[in-house]
Amino acid sequence: MIGEKIKTTTRASLLDGATVASEIKLQVKTEIELLSKEQNFVPCLAAVRVGDDPASAVYVRNKIKACEEVGIRSEHYALPESTSTDELLSVINSLNNRPEVSGILTQLPLPKAINEKLIIESINPLKDVDGFHPINVGKLAMGDPLFVPCTPAGIIELLDHYGIELNGIDACVVGRSQIVGRPTAQLLLQRNATVTICHSQTRNLSEVTSRAELLVAAIGRAGMIGRQYIKPGATVIDVGMNRLTTPAEVESMFGAESEKRLEVLSKRGYTLIGDVHPAEAAEVAGRITPVPGGVGLLTVAMLMKNTLKAAKLTLESKTKT
C-alpha cells in the first residue's frame, strides 16, 4: 500500500520506485499546466467502483489523490454492490459520450454478478487508460501500442531509469494475467529480450526462473520466489502485493530485517510483502524492487501519464473535425 515506507539494508541494491514515480508525475504535472494555459483544457479521469471491497476503495482513493497532485480533475462513482451489468453499462456509456472526460477506469475486480468482460469492452478504447480493452490489447501485441496497462508500463520505465539493458537478455515473467504477466512479456519482447512466461502449470519452475537475468514475479503468492528461483546477480521485479498478519510469518520472510516490519504489524495488524522472499532474494539478486515502494507507486504514476495521453488524443480529434 502506498505510504508504508520501510528502508532496508540488503546486499541487493534497491530499485526505488518512489523516485521514478515522482519524476513521471512531475513531468505529467508540467505538461498539464501547459495544456491548461495554452488550450484551456484540463484532463479528467473518471473512476468507477462497484461494491464495498476495502482494497478497491484504497486503490481508488490513491488514484484520486495522484490526480490532485498532478492537476487532473477526477470524478468518482461509488456504486452499490447490487449494481447490475446494465446499470454499470449505462454509467460507462454516459462517460464515453462526455468529451470533457479524458479517461475511464473501472476498478477491478467487479462483483461476480457483473459481466466484467462486457464492461471492459464497453469503454471507448481512446479513453481506456487501463489498457484492458481488446483493441488496446491487440495493438500492444502487434507492437503498435496505444494504451499499455499501467503496471507493465511502469516496470519498463523503472528499468529504463536505472539503465538496465534489455536488448538480448534472458527474461522470465512468472504469471500470465492480462493485467501484468502477458503485457509485460510483450513489452520485453519488443525491446528484444528473450522472454519466457511461466505459470502455475510450469514444470520445474525454479530451473526455468534461475536462468533469467531479469525476473518479473507476478504470481500472487506471498514470498514464493526464494533464492533457488533467482540467478545470482539477476534483476528481480516484484509485482506482488500480499499481507502478512503474524509475527512468525514476518520473521520467516524478513530475517534480520524483521524488527521494523514487526513494528508495522503491531500498529496496523499487517505488513506488506511481494511475491519474492525478501531475505533470501537479498542474498542472491543484484537488484530488486522493494514492497512497498516499488512497482505499486509506478502503476499509479503511469495511470496519470495515460490519462494525459488520452486528453491529448481528445484534443487532436477536435482539431481534425
Q: Report helix, strand or coil for 244.
A: strand
Closest to 215 in 3D by CA, of 192, 241, 181: 181
Q: Report helix, strand or coil for 77.
A: strand
How far apart, in whole angstroms, are the C-alpha atoms of residue 240 and residue 55?
Answer: 14
Q: Measured in whole angstroms, how far is the alpha carbon of residue 174 from the centre of its chain?
A: 15
Q: Measured in whole angstroms, how far is the alpha carbon of residue 92 from the centre of its chain?
A: 22
How far apart, in whole angstroms, are the C-alpha atoms of residue 126 and residue 136?
Answer: 9
Edge-first strand order for the sheet with 13-14 is 13-14, 287-288, 235-238, 214-217, 170-174, 194-198
Cα dihedral 12/280/171/221 (nearest 10): -130
How far apart, in whole angstroms, are the C-alpha atoms of residue 120 and residue 179?
Answer: 12
Active-site residue list = 63, 107, 130
Closest to 316 in 3D by CA, of 39, 16, 131: 39
Q: Are 52 and 199 in contact (CB under 8 A)?
A: no
Q: Are 6 and 260 in contact (CB under 8 A)?
A: yes
Q: Is the peptide bond prior to 109 cis by the omega test (within 30 degrees of 0)?
A: yes
